[in-house]
Amino acid sequence: MERRDADPATTYPVVVVYRRQMGWTDRLLQTLGAGEFTHCELYFPLLQVTFAVFIPGSMRCDTTLWRLYAHPVVRYKFAWHLLQLNRLEYDALLAWNVSLQEHHRGYNLADLMWQAAPLVVQGAIVRDLTDSEAHMPGRVFCSQAVVLAMRAASGVVSASARFRAFTHSMNSRLTTPTDMAVNMTQYLGVEINTGAVPLTGQDVDSHLREVQAAAPHSHPALGL
């Protein structure tokens, strides 16, 4: 991990990366009404690792996926939001992902199929995971993993009530990558970034300086 100041006010960046259609599995998701984005994952710039789950595999900690974010042929496929977490939130988010990767939690295709059902049916039948179930779910799909990872981060003592309320406002079993992007935009009050994904802590700092210089009173990312 890149060194960060020990000051309690120091924040730790995590990037929610959204991806547009690329392969046959994405085309399947499009038929279910996935919307603009068919995949999302969590990228840790200080570690340069991505936690992601794909059909038909299990949760993985990948050290090469970040190269696609800057690849000249496919980089336009990606968009992102930046989170700035405190140390306890960051550690909890990371630990949740590591735990799922170590336990080889697979892809939750069954719940993904609910996207084909009418909204009224989804709301009436699909119960979200309890907090105890969310601690170690049997299977997850990509945006479900992002929701549950953030929920784990929001459970630490230093997390705000607003952060906890946000992470529990989404039914993790029904939230698609496009839903995730919309919800994050509304919660953070920041539009989806379509420029280059920040690959290092220095890139994150540069991005924040640029946005702050362009709009001094804006908040390019929110410490949740």
pLDDT digits (tens, 9 = 90+) for 29-50: 666 656 789 999 999 999 999 9
Buried b (16+ CB within 10 A) or exposed e, 96-120: bbeebbeeebbbbeebbeebeeeee
Residue pointed to by tokens 């300086």: 209
Q: What are 150-165's pLDDT values in tens digits?
A: 999 999 999 999 999 9
Average pLDDT for residues 52-68, to the nearest whole number? 93
User: Helix, strand or coil for residue 33?
Assistant: coil
- For residue 29, the model assigns a pLDDT of 62
Q: Which fold has domain 12-223?
A: endopeptidase fold (from Nostoc punctiforme) (3.90.1720)
Pairing of strands 60-62, 49-52: antiparallel
Q: What's the pLDDT at 224?
A: 44
pLDDT at 109: 84
Residue with tokens 């200080």: 46
> Is pLDDT of 56 > 50?
yes
Helix axes 142-153, 87-102, angle to 10 degrees: 140
Q: How confident is the model at residue 179 (pLDDT cuts 50, 70, 90)?
A: very high
pLDDT higher than 60, residue 219: no
User: What is the CA 44 to chain-centroid distance, rounded?
Assistant: 10
Q: Record the tokens describing residue 34, joined without a space.
A: 């996935």
Residues 181-210 have a mean pLDDT of 94
Beta partners for residue 62, in sequence order: 50
Cβ contacts of 193 within 8 Å, gap of 6 or more: 79, 80, 81, 82
User: Parallel, antiparallel, or unpaired for β 78-85 and 12-20?
Assistant: antiparallel
Question: Which residues have CB under 8 Å from 206's CB, separation 6+?
Answer: 198
Residue 223: predicted pLDDT: 42
- Domain range annotation of the chain: 12-223
What φ, ψ does residue 141 adopt, rounded to 5°? -100, 175
pLDDT of residue 186: 95
pTM above 0.75, yes or no: yes
The residue ranges of DSSP E strands in 54-120, in sequence order, are: 60-62, 78-85, 106-107
pLDDT tens by residue, 67-123 = 999 999 999 999 999 999 999 999 999 999 999 999 999 999 888 777 766 666 767
Residue 194 has pLDDT above 60, yes or no: yes
CA dist., res. 118 & res. 136, Å (int): 28
Dump pLDDT digits (tens) for 4-28: 655 557 899 999 999 998 766 666 6
CA-based torsion, 82, 127, 174, 189: positive or negative: negative
Residue 22, pLDDT score:
74
What percentage of the chain exceeds 90 in pLDDT? Answer: 71
In the prediction, which pLDDT does 26 show? 61
